[in-house]
Structure 1
Amino acid sequence: MAIGTLQGRALYKVMSTCCALAFCLYGYDAGVLGGVQSTKPFLDAIGNPKGTYIIPLVASSYVLAATVTTLVVMWIGLRLGRRRCIIIGDIFVIVGTAVQASSFSVAQIIVARVICGTGIGFISCTVPTYMAEMSIESKERGPEVAKQCAWLISGIALAYWLDFGFTRMDSQVSWRFPIAFQAAFAGTSLALMLLLPDTPRWYYAKARNTEGDGVLSRLHNKPIDHPDVMLQRQEILMSIRLEEEEMNRFRITSLIWDTTDLRAGRRIRIAFCLLAIQQMMGINVMVYYSTKIFADMGLSDFLSQILAAVMNTVYAAGCWVLPFTIEAFGRRHIMIGSAIGCTVTMLIFVIMIALPHPTDATQWIAVVFVIFFNFFIGYGWVGVAWLYGAEIAPLKYRHIGNASSAFGEWLFSFITVFAGGIAITNIGWKIWIWQLLSCICAIIFPFFMCPETGGKTLEEIDFIFVKGGDGRDLSSGVTSGKEEMEVSQEEKV
């Protein structure tokens, strides 16, 4: 059956597969350099650069490009649409991969990393929004976006295991093949996305109602005049009308002082802060410098590479637990609980590596607790943080909300990866005090700033954030709309 004729769950599964490949690519690209950047064939190929800043610059150039791209998506994301943004991202990655895998200088690999980072910037801004907006039931949105993020981290683990296998070789293939392999993810994702539609919510936001009706009907696998389809259509259009009211229009000043009823500025600030906090907790420093972290504990190169792969696999395992529990426990409780776990495990890790006279016992306690840290942050601060930013933003500004999330991720990833790489070399264990304090912030911030959004449609989430009195009035509009629909159906019967 052609993709263009798929309906209902079959169509949704193809969309999910396409986005999973794109997010797996995102994770793979983030992790693949970490396993090869200190090997002799790689360093020989780029001229054995000297200086503390060179390798951190190569790693963080990718992050910096993604950071800038997220700002671009804030301005052009709604115009391009969710589908086109993912397609553009895949194309950039394919081109960047070809340049990166054929690199013979520091300059060439930095340019290649910038091209790949640009593509990943488009993908990271858009995949959570695409899958969230394709949901037709509130209970499927959380697990689905959580699965996409689990694939993201699985890509990191896959990269480290592939690196581990290929770096047993002593040739240029040992690093060029793992880097080139990411094109397989991008190419497959691109081929599928070219055959898929954009989200019905995007079509409605662009006043392309006929196309929106068609996609919504296909997702429900019901005719457009079916009560379920019409009810969701009415909720989406009502939400758009609400956003278009002059008092609720988003302005750049709303990011600082938000006086609108919809509180769009506040929601975008929350989306940014969640991913910024996630990065300040130190997870990407661990991803990029996994092997070096274990080597600095005094472990052999071989054991450090194995433990780096194990740690990132446990990180991915934590992410895979989330889809099965997110609706039962709720977004807010998971973020707070896992942040407590991160704080405790990071504290023990810091104490063990800071001891003036380490032993084999303290060394392995540090290893165990840093691996547990990765499990906790994978469970509570990857899928939930990406999902929360995507679902709390108003429809017409969802590209800004998700780009803001990605901007927080990439900006602070650049800061922590570039500065962290230098700090690990120069000040050692003291760098992790920064991450420990950030873990404490990760407990406090969602406690005070993140209301629970589980079990609600994207349109119903609007009414969690509106002003008290206005919120009740606005939500009654949706309620009355539902009642009118029910009355209309009873009259037909």
Structure 2
Amino acid sequence: MFDEYLQGKALRRLSRFSCSVGFLIEGYQAGVLGGVQETKPFLNAIGNPTGTETIPMIASSYTLAAAFMSCVVMLIGMPLGRRRCIIIGNAFIAVGGVVQAASFSVPQIIVARVLCGFGIAFITCNVPMYMSEMSVEARERGPEVAINCSSLLFGVALSYWITFGFTRMTNQISWRMPIAFQCIFAILSGVSMIFLPDTPRWYYARDNIPEGDKTLSRIYGVYRKGVTNHGDVPEIQAMKQNIMENFHVEEEDSNRLTLLSLVWDNTPLRVGRRVRISFLILAIQQSMGINMLVYYMTLIFTNVGLSDFLASLLAAISLTVQWVGSLLCVVTIERIGRRRIMMWTACIETCCMLIFVVLNTLQHKTVSTQWAAAMIMFPYMFFYGWGWVGCPWLYGPEIAPLRYRHIGSAAGLLGVWLFTFLTVFAGGIAFETVGAKIWIWPLIFNAIAFLFVYFMCPDPTNKTLEEVDALFAKDEAVLNRLNHVVDEKATSEEIEEAT
């Protein structure tokens, strides 16, 4: 019954809300444990574990679960669709959040975080795809996904502010309530997604032409109940033709994704290379130190000699600075371009991390050098929020071909969760063993990030998802076919403008 009037701007706003809240959960989940894991009520509740690996394992268990589920999504993502995957993910998080907030032992809280990890994988594999494929103009895609990723960072900052407030208490509510809040977000995201359609590109890929036409007409705001020929609207017809032609090219045997093409890609559309880039760019993103900073930001400020109160306050402020940086991405991602933003912010982050490493590894530290090391994290967090949250999350899904977009997106998330697990779990143990030298790792990867984008990542800014295929196509015949569709689309638009 909502089909008659949930369309156009209302449809896009609801999809933005649902996906943004879904991404907020990922950020909230990443930050909330870091704010409570060292508090006495939390440690008392789980039996005061003594092993150096226990807390890092609790913190990173959901990332390992998410890495596993990302592999599963490669197999079931296309049959289920983007919409149903997001709904399933929110259901996992709602259940896992309840179990986690009610935990009284290490095994129980690990099981709960594994359930949340399954849910996070479903959401993060599909939200960027969903928002990218629901866009009708190339210039919409970047800001829409950047808004979602800004919500992710808002979730991180929100988790620290909530735990900052609740951990002033000394009872069990101090850590159980902050963890339970994620259930509210999961319900909001999941319920709102129920009233939304799947993407038109998914319907066309599944050969459900009527639903694809109907969804496109709802996006354009021209849907009328009982009308069956929405595909005759010129804008819808042009977009549908573009999608279908590209999908037919992608379906050809020469462009099929194989295990060999993931290593050595000779397909005309460079399908394997594009999936490989999707994995690597997000693996690099997670190796740039952000997870260790999020989980151990309070510890960084405590090492300066601050009280727990001031350390928690500064940690919350620094993560808010990161969120502010992500807002800049929303307004610049289409004007400056993904490639340039990622390259130049990686340069600045490398300089900040170099200063941080040098100051932290000095043989004779002073209060001034410790303060300087802590303060240099503020510009680092700002520029990371600007260049290395929204852009990499968007880049993988938008460069992957429609036929394999769920695989490209899931491969990227596999990179996220595998390297998140490594940095959080290994980083937690490294703090106890090698100390500040662990920051050399993210320093190296910040430099690698610049080189990787420079040599491996063409810029899809201001191109439709179908036009992106031409960026990677090397076969001249295939390139001519793709350009022919684009030229036809441009010609039809020029005729419409002239009339």
Report if TM-score (shorter chain) is over 0.5: yes
Match of 2:327 in 1: 320
Residues 1:372 and 2:387 aligned together: no
For residues 489 and 330 of structure 1, what CA distance do their matches in structure 2 show? 28
Equivalent of residue 275 in structure 1, options 278, 282, 295: 282
For residues 40 and 104 of structure 1, what CA distance do their matches in structure 2 show? 14
User: Following superposition, which runs of at least 4 residues in structure 1 exceed 4 angstroms of deviation?
Assistant: 1-4, 483-490
For residues 224 and 97 of structure 1, what CA distance do their matches in structure 2 show? 43
More displaced stretch, 216-225 vs 235-244: 216-225
Match of 1:403 in 2: 410
**Partner secondary structure for residue 100 of structure 1:** helix
Task: State the Cα distance separating 1:468 from its structure 2 match.
Answer: 5.1
Equivalent of residue 391 in structure 1, options 387, 395, 398: 398
Residue by residue over 1:152-203, the C-alpha shift from the partner in whole angstroms, topping out at 9 and shown as x without a partner, is: 0110000000000000000000000000010010001111111110000000
In structure 2, stretches of 5+ residues that fail to align are 223-229
Q: Tell me if the contact between 1:338 and 1:379 (Cα under 8 Å) persists in the aligned partners.
A: yes
Counterpart mapping for 1:65-214 below 5 A: 65-214=65-214
When residues 365 and 236 of structure 1 are mapped into structure 2, their CA distance, relative to the original with a 3 A threshold, is same
Amino acid at match of 2:427: G
When residues 452 and 489 of structure 1 are mapped into structure 2, their CA distance, relative to the original with a 3 A threshold, is closer
Residue by residue over 1:273-300, the C-alpha shift from the partner in whole angstroms, topping out at 9 and shown as x without a partner, is: 1111111111011111221222233332
**Partner secondary structure for residue 328 of structure 1:** coil
When residues 301 and 4 of structure 1 are mapped into structure 2, their CA distance, relative to the original with a 3 A threshold, is farther
Amino acid at match of 2:135: S
**Partner secondary structure for residue 452 of structure 1:** coil
Residues 1:424 and 2:425 aligned together: no
More displaced stretch, 278-287 vs 82-91: 278-287
For residues 494 and 462 of structure 2, what CA distance do their matches in structure 1 show? 25
Residues 1:435 and 2:453 aligned together: no
Match of 2:477 in 1: 470
Residues 1:20 and 2:20 aligned together: yes
For residues 4 and 423 of structure 1, what CA distance do their matches in structure 2 show? 57
For residues 54 and 494 of structure 2, what CA distance do their matches in structure 1 show? 68
Task: State the Cα distance separating 1:6 from its structure 2 match.
Answer: 1.3
Match of 1:62 in 2: 62
For residues 360 and 491 of structure 2, what CA distance do their matches in structure 1 show? 64
For residues 336 and 265 of structure 1, what CA distance do their matches in structure 2 show? 23
Task: State the Cα distance separating 1:79 from its structure 2 match.
Answer: 0.6
Task: State the Cα distance separating 1:465 from its structure 2 match.
Answer: 0.3
For residues 272 and 298 of structure 1, what CA distance do their matches in structure 2 show? 39
Match of 1:413 in 2: 420
For residues 85 and 30 of structure 2, what CA distance do their matches in structure 1 show? 19
Amino acid at match of 2:120: I
When residues 36 and 479 of structure 1 are mapped into structure 2, their CA distance, relative to the original with a 3 A threshold, is closer
Q: Tell me if the contact between 1:275 and 1:409 (Cα under 8 Å) persists in the aligned partners.
A: yes
Task: State the Cα distance separating 1:477 from its structure 2 match.
Answer: 2.7
More displaced stretch, 309-318 vs 101-110: 309-318
For residues 487 and 307 of structure 1, what CA distance do their matches in structure 2 show? 54
Task: State the Cα distance separating 1:257 from its structure 2 match.
Answer: 1.4
For residues 348 and 373 of structure 2, what CA distance do their matches in structure 1 show? 15
User: What is the aligned-residue identity percentage?
Assistant: 54
For residues 353 and 234 of structure 1, what CA distance do their matches in structure 2 show? 57
**Partner secondary structure for residue 198 of structure 1:** coil
For residues 50 and 361 of structure 1, what CA distance do their matches in structure 2 show? 33
Match of 1:355 in 2: 362
TM-score under structure 2 normalisation?
Answer: 0.96
For residues 484 and 282 of structure 1, what CA distance do their matches in structure 2 show? 47
When residues 208 and 440 of structure 1 are mapped into structure 2, their CA distance, relative to the original with a 3 A threshold, is same
Residue by residue over 1:431-471, the C-alpha shift from the partner in whole angstroms, topping out at 9 and shown as x without a partner, is: 00111011110110000000111000000000100105235
When residues 214 and 3 of structure 1 are mapped into structure 2, their CA distance, relative to the original with a 3 A threshold, is closer
Match of 1:250 in 2: 257
For residues 304 and 430 of structure 2, what CA distance do their matches in structure 1 show? 15
Q: Tell me if the contact between 2:268 and 2:475 (Cα under 8 Å) persists in the aligned partners.
A: no
**Partner secondary structure for residue 320 of structure 2:** helix
Q: Tell me if the contact between 2:63 and 2:418 (Cα under 8 Å) persists in the aligned partners.
A: yes
For residues 288 and 221 of structure 2, what CA distance do their matches in structure 1 show? 43
Q: Tell me if the contact between 1:339 and 1:442 (Cα under 8 Å) persists in the aligned partners.
A: yes
**Partner secondary structure for residue 306 of structure 2:** coil
For residues 309 and 401 of structure 2, what CA distance do their matches in structure 1 show? 49
For residues 9 and 395 of structure 1, what CA distance do their matches in structure 2 show? 25
Match of 1:292 in 2: 299
For residues 375 and 196 of structure 1, what CA distance do their matches in structure 2 show? 34
Q: CA RMSD in A?
A: 1.7
Q: Tell me if the contact between 1:3 and 1:196 (Cα under 8 Å) persists in the aligned partners.
A: no
Aligned length: 491
Task: State the Cα distance separating 1:489 from its structure 2 match.
Answer: 7.7
For residues 295 and 253 of structure 1, what CA distance do their matches in structure 2 show? 49
Match of 2:462 in 1: 455
For residues 431 and 474 of structure 1, what CA distance do their matches in structure 2 show? 50
For residues 73 and 253 of structure 2, what CA distance do their matches in structure 1 show? 24
Match of 1:446 in 2: 453
Amino acid at match of 1:278: Q
In structure 1, stretches of 5+ residues that fail to align are none
When residues 155 and 477 of structure 1 are mapped into structure 2, their CA distance, relative to the original with a 3 A threshold, is same
Q: Tell me if the contact between 2:45 and 2:104 (Cα under 8 Å) persists in the aligned partners.
A: yes
Q: Tell me if the contact between 1:297 and 1:353 (Cα under 8 Å) persists in the aligned partners.
A: no
When residues 4 and 165 of structure 1 are mapped into structure 2, their CA distance, relative to the original with a 3 A threshold, is farther
Amino acid at match of 1:88: I
Match of 1:235 in 2: 242
Match of 2:32 in 1: 32
**Partner secondary structure for residue 459 of structure 1:** coil
When residues 35 and 261 of structure 1 are mapped into structure 2, their CA distance, relative to the original with a 3 A threshold, is same
When residues 44 and 3 of structure 1 are mapped into structure 2, their CA distance, relative to the original with a 3 A threshold, is farther
When residues 72 and 63 of structure 1 are mapped into structure 2, their CA distance, relative to the original with a 3 A threshold, is same
**Partner secondary structure for residue 181 of structure 1:** helix
Amino acid at match of 1:53: E
**Partner secondary structure for residue 466 of structure 2:** helix
When residues 252 and 4 of structure 1 are mapped into structure 2, their CA distance, relative to the original with a 3 A threshold, is farther
Equivalent of residue 303 in structure 1, options 279, 299, 310: 310
Q: Tell me if the contact between 1:24 and 1:154 (Cα under 8 Å) persists in the aligned partners.
A: yes
Match of 1:341 in 2: 348
For residues 198 and 437 of structure 2, what CA distance do their matches in structure 1 show? 47
TM-score under structure 1 normalisation?
Answer: 0.97
Task: State the Cα distance separating 1:4 from its structure 2 match.
Answer: 6.0
For residues 479 and 32 of structure 1, what CA distance do their matches in structure 2 show? 46
Q: Tell me if the contact between 2:301 and 2:315 (Cα under 8 Å) persists in the aligned partners.
A: yes
More displaced stretch, 284-293 vs 480-489: 480-489
Residue by residue over 1:231-265, the C-alpha shift from the partner in whole angstroms, topping out at 9 and shown as x without a partner, is: 00110111111111111111222111111111111
For residues 348 and 302 of structure 2, what CA distance do their matches in structure 1 show? 25
Residue by residue over 1:297-350, the C-alpha shift from the partner in whole angstroms, topping out at 9 and shown as x without a partner, is: 333222211111111111111111101001111111001000001000001111
For residues 4 and 118 of structure 1, what CA distance do their matches in structure 2 show? 35
Equivalent of residue 225 in structure 1, options 216, 232, 240: 232
